[in-house]
Amino acid sequence: PEAITVQELANRMAERGADVIKALMKMGVMATINQTIDADTAELIIGEFGHTVRRVSAADVELGLEGEADIDDHLLPRPPVVTIMGHVDHGKTSLLDALRQTDVAAHEAGGITQHIGAYQVTLPSSKKITFIDTPGHAAFTEMRARGANVTDIVVLVVAGDDGIMPQTVEAIHHAKAAKVPILVAINKMDKPDANANRVRQELLSHELVTEEMGGDVLTVEVSAKTKMNLDKLEEALLLQAEILDLKANPDRSAVGAVVEAKMERGRGSVATLLVQKGTLKVGDIFVAGAEWGRVRALLDDRGRNIDSAGPAMPVEVLGLQGTPQAGDVFVVVESEARAREITEFRAHREREKQAAAGARSTLEQMFSKI
Ligand code: GTP
Ligand code: MG
């Protein structure tokens, strides 16, 4: 069951802790300021104080901590964040490489993606698309599921000579669960045995009805090898992005997600962050999951030093005190003291969570003040 400390509940309602304790006593619940109460009790208390209960995602709760909502007239168009998903060896990395005109796959150990990478592609029209690559191994299903949460559009890569495979189906499930539109790239069309219509037929049995079959799922026949139709794929993505009307406020402190994080010899903790709102700048103090840091350096997807990163931009960040986890929310805060306060709260909450055997590992539902 979900729970919240009395202190946290008081903070969210902007009420005094003592008043919340009193209200609890009236209900026959004896609790100290640091004790946790269950969600149902908290809901009653919130009603008691005349506030409205809103159940939100864990990410929203974290953002709500800063109480910053985006103001409509500050919203500006932002690039789409596209996650590439699909079965092992169907050509996800090759396709990204072709799109980037670089050759990451050739440098990967054994040609298999070992991490989630994030890149931004600037098109000749100067429009940008942010891509997130995901590993093809079943063992990394969880990472992939997280990838879908920061994603606006999923590109499902299906090898035209191989068709729908188990991890293609998994990817479809992830995309559907995340309620993200799916665009199908039928890859390896340069191969003589590639058959795009067979792929479209197979998609039908997973409730993906392509345009050719009277539905609304776009398919683009591509080849990462010959670079065939990559421009069509990009056009289709931009069109989809336009329909989604993606906007974010760049003029606020940054909020986003950790795409990957690791400890690197000589560099310390290094995280790839995807900025979702606001602009992240060198010198900013931020919290990422249970860790915090001060941005010492920002690097773009090609390792170049930059001063700031706006919405939908993936960046590598140096200056973390510890290593957060992929999928963690990051948020810029006003001071080191605030950063410590939040991370201590989260560390405490993490210990409590681990102590509660069998408890769900994610805080899907929490309370926030309206
Ligand atoms: P994982 O990351 O391991 O899941 O694989 P992936 O989906 O990223 O596939 P990757 O890009 O590593 O490509 C797998 C193999 O397919 C490589 O040998 C590529 O050279 C080959 N390949 C990818 N795209 C094409 C294509 O369009 N045509 C042909 N002929 N081969 C391709
Ligand atoms: Mg790959």
Query: Is the CB of 224 inside a 6 Å radius of any atom of ligand 1?
Result: yes
Question: Average pLDDT for residues 67-81, to the nearest whole number?
Answer: 71
Calpha distance 6→15 (Å, rounded)? 11
Pairing of strands 268-277, 314-320: antiparallel
If we measure between CA atoms, which residue out of 35, 346, 91, 72 comes closest to residue 227? 91
Confirm or deny that 163 is annotated as ligand binding. no
- Per DSSP, 164 falls in state S
3-state SS assignment for residue 292: strand
Mean pLDDT of 115-138: 73
Residue 312: which of 337, 280, 334 has the closest Cα? 280
Q: What is the pLDDT of residue 22?
A: 92
Separation of CA 85 and ligand 2 centre (Å): 9
Residues 6+ apart with CB under 8 A from 362: 58
pLDDT at position 147: 47
Higher pLDDT pick, 257 / 115: 257
Indicate whether 272 pLDDT > 60: yes
Q: Confirm if 177 and 171 have CB atoms less than 8 A apart.
A: no
Written as six digits, the tokens of 13 are 């309602």
Read off the pLDDT of each residue in 269-291 and give the average, rounded to a whole number.
93
**pLDDT tens digits, 140-158:** 455 445 444 678 999 999 9
Establish whether 72 is an annotated binding residue. Answer: no
CA separation, residue 307 to residues 15, 233, 316 (Å): 39, 31, 12
What's the pLDDT tens digit per position in 317-361?
A: 999 999 988 878 888 998 998 888 888 877 777 777 777 644 443
Residue 66, pLDDT score: 41
Q: How far apart are CA 289 and CA 307, in angstroms?
A: 23
Which of 325, 246, 250 shows the shortest CA–CA distance to 281? 250
Q: What is the pLDDT of residues 154-191, one digit of tens each?
A: 999 999 999 999 989 988 988 887 788 999 999 999 99
pLDDT for 217 equals 95
Q: Cβ(87) to ligand 1 under 6 A?
A: no
CB of residue 115 inside a 6 A radius of ligand 1:
no
In short, whether 112's Cβ falls inside 6 Å of ligand 1 is yes
Instruction: For residue 200, name the pLDDT band (cuts at 50, 70, 90).
Output: very high
Take atom 14 of ligand 1 and give the residue whose Cα is closest.
Answer: 89
Residue 25 has pLDDT above 50, yes or no: yes
Flag the least confident range among 22-26, 110-114, 187-191, 279-283. Answer: 110-114
Could you identify the atom of ligand 1 that is nearest to the CA of residue 88? 4
Furthest-apart CA atoms within the chain: distance in Å: 76
- How many A from CA of 112 to the centre of ligand 1? 9
> Ligand 1 pocket, 190 CB below 6 A?
yes
Q: Which residues surround ligand 2, an ion (CB under 5 A)?
A: 92-93, 113
Give the pLDDT score at 114: 42
Pairing between strand 153-159 and 81-86?
parallel
Q: Which amino acid is at 193?
A: D
Instruction: Point out the least confidently predicted range of 82-86, 135-139, 170-174, 364-368.
Output: 364-368
Give the DSSP H/E element, type plus range, for residue 83: strand 81-86
| 165 contacts 206 by C-beta, under 8 angstroms | no
In terms of Cβ atoms closer than 10 Å to its own Cβ (0-12, 13-18, 19+), residue 57 is middle
45-59, 97-111, 114-128, 297-311: range with lowest mean pLDDT: 97-111
Query: Mean pLDDT score of the chain, rounded to an integer?
Result: 82
For residue 69, give the DSSP letter.
P
Reduced to 3 states (helix: H, G, I; strand: E, B; else coil), residue 273 is strand
Q: Which ligand lies nearest the alpha carbon of 106?
A: 1
Digit-coded pLDDT (tens) for 87-120? 989 999 899 888 876 444 445 545 444 444 788 8
The predicted pLDDT at position 160 comes to 98
CA distance 363 to 349: 10
How far, CA to CA in Å, does 147 sit from each of 14, 164, 178, 292, 326?
Answer: 34, 20, 10, 22, 9
CB atoms within 10 A of CB 110: 6
Between 7 and 150, the higher pLDDT residue:
7
- pLDDT confidence of 215, banded at 50, 70, 90? very high
| Atom number of ligand 1 nearest to Cα 167 | 4
pTM for the complete prediction?
A: 0.74
Site to substitute for ligand 1 among 94, 140, 167, 193, most atoms within 8 A of C-beta: 94
Q: How far, in Å, are 20, 92, 171, 202 from residue 206 at the CA level?
A: 50, 20, 11, 7
d(CA 91, CA 100): 14
Of 333 and 134, more confident: 333
Q: What percent of the chain has pLDDT over 90?
A: 43
Determine the average pLDDT of the residues in 201-213.
Answer: 95
pLDDT tier for residue 305 given thresholds of 50, 70 and 90: very high
- Alpha-carbon separation of residue 356 from 4, 161, 359 (angstroms): 14, 48, 6
The confidence score (pLDDT) of residue 65 equals 43
Residue 38 has a pLDDT of 85
Alpha-helical regions (H) of the chain = 6-13, 17-26, 39-48, 58-66, 92-100, 104-107, 141-149, 166-177, 196-204, 230-244, 336-355
Q: Which ligand is nearest to the CA of 190?
A: 1
What does the pLDDT read at residue 63?
Answer: 45
Tokens 């709102």 belong to 277
Coil, strand or helix at 271: strand
Distance 168 CA to ligand 2 centre (A): 14
* Nearest residue (CA) to ligand 1, atom 20: 94
Q: What is the pLDDT of residue 62?
A: 47
Mean pLDDT calculated for residue range 287-312: 92
Evaluate whether 98 touches 230 at the Cβ level (below 8 Å).
yes
136 annotated ligand binder = yes
d(CA 186, CA 173): 18
pLDDT of residue 133: 72
